[in-house]
Structures are given as C-alpha cells and as structure tokens.
Chain A
Amino acid sequence: MNGPQDMGGLQGYGPVNAEPNEPIFHADWEKKAMALTVAMGFTGTWNIDRSRFARESLGPANYITWSYYKIWLSALEQLVKDYELASAEEIAQGKSVDAPAAVKRVLKAEDTPAALAKGGPVVRDKAGAPAFKPGDVVCARNFHPTGHTRLPRYLRSRQGVIHKARSAHVFPDTSARGEGEDPQWLYSVRFKATDLWGDEANPNDHVHVDCWEPYLERV
C-alpha cells in the first residue's frame, strides 16, 4: 500500500531529534502496549506481516501524528476485533462478555524466556535455484499493490545490482493477506544514490535494500 509508512525519501519532517539518555520506555503504558503486542503475537492468530499491515492501515493522519506505541496499541485493538477475539464493546469496557475464541497457543510465563530467545525465523526451504546471482543488473518492478508490500516506493522502476543472494524467506505480500508463506528468494540489492535521487546525491553513496525475487526484473 502506498501508505504513510512508506517514508523513504519524503521531505519536510525536520531534523532528527535524538533525546539524550533516552529511557527505554517513556511511560508504563508503553511497556504494556509492547508486551501485549508480543504476547498476542504468540497466540498465532496473525503473523508479523499482518500486524505491520494493521499499523499501516490506521489512517495517514493518525500514523504520522500518533506516538509509536499508540500505533502499536491501536493496531493491536484492531487485530483483536478483526480476528474476532473480542468485540469493540468488550475492548471499550475492558470486560469480557462473550465466550473467548479458541487460539492456537497462549504464552505462559514459564515458557516466555525460551520463546523470546527462539524468536520467529522466516527462512524456509525452497526447491529450485534463485533467478539472480551477485552482479546481475535488475530493476525493481513498478507496482502499486493496495495490500502489504515491502518494496519501498523510492525503488520502483530503479535499477540496481544484486549484491548478495540470500535464502528463501517468507513472502510478506502473501503472508499479510493470510494467503500463506509462499517463500521467495531474497536478495540484497545495491542501488546507486544518484540513480535514486539524481545528481544532487553523492556519486559514492549507495542504498542496499533486501528485495524478494517477485519484486525484481532482469535488465
């Protein structure tokens, strides 16, 4: 989706304001918003791609003005509703009315350290060979899906060179739609800054971006 999350190359947001000695959280509610998001992810009701799409879909004005964890909490509330784990009324009241839905698993305290240490690897087996090899010249496709994608707009129709062929990874575009993992070869692609941004850019500079094979065409 050409949504507010796709920020690369936008202008007008001003300087980067780094807060000296920044605390990890700025309020207790942020801790809980983070932890609830992680814990609900472990129920296996949705995947990380779907949860990113939920955050991207909160409305552009909200996305650019809300704080980070307000976005997380709002997306979590939306996912809980979308997957019918609770109703809007229950969320508003903080009180269960209907019987709970069945979830695949619940993250128990005793399993939490091991679950966090294990994470959620996305490398998958895939038959066949990657279409591209290091050094190949490729062009990022010019497409504008309305769903989730991880090909930033600033790359579309731009040429780059395969820097590294990686493993097959879960394909976020299908994964976010609930259409399966559909693993695709992933590449690190090297783009010249001047090809992306014109002659104003430093000719020595590059941007390296991870692109799945369906994002790329051979030149």
Chain B
Amino acid sequence: MAHDHHHDHDHDHSELPEMDLRVRALESLLVEKGYVDPAALDIIIDTYENKVGPQNGARVVAKAWSDPEFKKWLLDDGSAAIVSLGYSGRQGEHMDVVENTDDVHNMVVCTLCSCYPWSVLGLPPVWYKSAPYRSRAVIDPRGVLAEFGVSIAEDKEVRVWDSTAEMRYLVLPQRPDGTEGWSEEQLAALVTRDSMIGTGLALSPDQVPA
C-alpha cells in the first residue's frame, strides 16, 4: 500500500486511485452480501450533501435572536427546542446550546475524534477534524482563534467545550449591532458556520452583500 507523505489530514489526490478502488470493492461486496441497499447509500449522501447543513443552525440562531421565549427554551433544553424546528437525527440527538455573552466566548472541539452537531451544522470541515485544531483548541484557544481572525479581550473568558460524550454543542453567537427590526431570514444570513462552532463571530450588517 502506498504511503501518503502529507500531513494535516489534507485531501491528497494521490490517494484517489487506491481509495476509489477500495471503496468500489467494499461497496460491491457489501451490496452483494445483502448488508447494504445501494439506494440507501444515495439517500445518505444526498442528505448530508444537500439537505443538512449550517443553514439549519443559522435558522435556530436567528429564531433565538428574535424570540426571547425560544431562546430561553433553547438554552434550557437545546435538544427539544431544535427538534421543534424540524432538525433532528444522527449526531444531534443530545444538544447543548452555549451562549456567547459580553463575558464569555464559547468554542467547540472534539479532541478525541470529530464529534460535531450534524443535525444543525452538517458534516464537519476538514480543519475541524484535523490534528492542528484538535490538539491546540484546548491548550491554545486564543492562538487558534487568532488564526481565524478572532481576537478575544484578555479579561473575557474563553470557554472551550471538548465534545467527549454524545452531547453536541452549538454556539449561540452574539447578535450583531445594527440589526434591530431585522427579520429572522435577514438575521440568518449573518450566522456563519464558524460562528456556531465558536471560531468565528456573526457577520455585521456591512459584511453581507445587499
């Protein structure tokens, strides 16, 4: 088997022929054995490629920004409040929503693997699953945040959530100034994926294309 000389879990096109062949062989075998329905595979792929993604989480955040009752519910019982918007399922069964405030900035990692709230953010980006992020998020969170262009005041708490169990975390970012009276749909456009992981902030109105 050829060795890869890359690091950082980057995708590497030299893997392609080998991996392509191995996946095809395994798929053929598992289908032939009757363990896997090939049409189910297509549905799984379509679900995570096209249906589930950070647009879900953005709607959760926008509603929390707009509706104080919903926000309270979301922070008390994230699982139930999120399911009420229709977002449920794998890797989102048990949700804890953590709120950014003037005093606390939250940031989520999984140092042991790649735990991530699929139901609201979709599949994780490569960097979230990579050794640099997983190793440093807990020991040097401010250094990691700086690489994402986020600077947190020295006297403000950075609170890192290491997803070691089946609890999944969604960061509720702070609502940007200058958005009074905005609709939930307008607000959702300010909510980036990274702002819900905690490696970013919500966009300000002037960062959104008109």
Contact surface of A with B, Cβ cutoff 8 Å: 5-11, 13-19, 22, 24-36, 38-40, 43, 52, 55, 64-70, 73, 76-77, 80, 85-86, 90-96, 100-101, 103, 106-109, 111-113, 116-123, 150-152, 154, 166, 169-170, 172, 186, 188, 193, 196-197, 201-202, 204-212
Are A108 and B40 in contact, CB atoms less than 8 angstroms apart?
yes
Q: Within 8 Å CB of A35, what residues of B? A: 40-42, 44-45
Separation of A63 and B25 alpha carbons in the complex (Å) = 22
Separation of A14 and B134 alpha carbons in the complex (Å) = 11
Separation of A6 and B88 alpha carbons in the complex (Å) = 29
Are B132 and A119 in contact, CB atoms less than 8 angstroms apart?
no
Contact surface of B with A, Cβ cutoff 8 Å: 3-12, 15-16, 19-20, 22-30, 32-37, 39-45, 47-49, 53, 88-94, 96, 109, 111-114, 119, 122-123, 125-127, 129-139, 141-142, 144, 147-148, 154-167
Separation of A123 and B96 alpha carbons in the complex (Å) = 14
Are B44 and A112 in contact, CB atoms less than 8 angstroms apart?
yes
CB distance from B170 to the nearest CB of A (A): 14
Separation of A117 and B83 alpha carbons in the complex (Å) = 10
Partner of A13, one of B3, B6, B36, B136: B136
Q: Within 8 Å CB of B138, what residues of A? A: 8-9, 154, 196, 207
Are A40 and B30 in contact, CB atoms less than 8 angstroms apart?
yes
Most A-side CB within 10 Å, residue of B32, B36, B91, B122: B36
- How many cross-chain pairs have Cβ atoms below 8 Å apart between A and B? 291
Separation of A93 and B38 alpha carbons in the complex (Å) = 19
Partner of B144, one of A11, A16, A86: A16
Partner of A96, one of B7, B33, B88, B125: B33
Known A-B contacts A17-B130, A39-B44, A95-B29; A24 and B111 likewise in contact (beta carbons under 8 Å): no
Partner of B167, one of A16, A166, A201: A166
Are B141 and A120 in contact, CB atoms less than 8 angstroms apart?
no
Are B164 and A209 in contact, CB atoms less than 8 angstroms apart?
yes
Partner of B159, one of A77, A101, A206, A211: A206
Q: Within 8 Å CB of B148, what residues of A? A: 16, 18
Most B-side CB within 10 Å, residue of A40, A108, A186, A207: A207
Are B6 and A65 in contact, CB atoms less than 8 angstroms apart?
yes
Separation of A145 and B183 alpha carbons in the complex (Å) = 52
5 A-B pairs in the complex with CB atoms less than 8 angstroms apart:
A16-B127, A28-B20, A108-B40, A117-B89, A208-B161
Are B16 and A29 in contact, CB atoms less than 8 angstroms apart?
yes
Are A152 and B164 in contact, CB atoms less than 8 angstroms apart?
yes
Are A68 and B129 in contact, CB atoms less than 8 angstroms apart?
yes
Partner of B35, one of A28, A70, A103: A103
Q: Within 8 Å CB of B36, what residues of A? A: 36, 39-40, 106-107
Which A-chain residue is minimally distant from B103 (CB atoms)? A204
Q: Within 8 Å CB of B166, what residues of A? A: 122, 169-170
Separation of A62 and B23 alpha carbons in the complex (Å) = 18
CB distance from A65 to the nearest CB of B (A): 6
Separation of A100 and B32 alpha carbons in the complex (Å) = 9
Which B-chain residue is minimally distant from A52 (CB atoms)? B113
Q: Within 8 Å CB of B40, what residues of A? A: 35, 39, 107-109, 111-112
Are B15 and A208 in contact, CB atoms less than 8 angstroms apart?
no
Most B-side CB within 10 Å, residue of A43, A70, A172: A70
Separation of A143 and B138 alpha carbons in the complex (Å) = 20
CB distance from B163 to the nearest CB of A (A): 7
Separation of A211 and B144 alpha carbons in the complex (Å) = 24
Are B47 and A113 in contact, CB atoms less than 8 angstroms apart?
yes
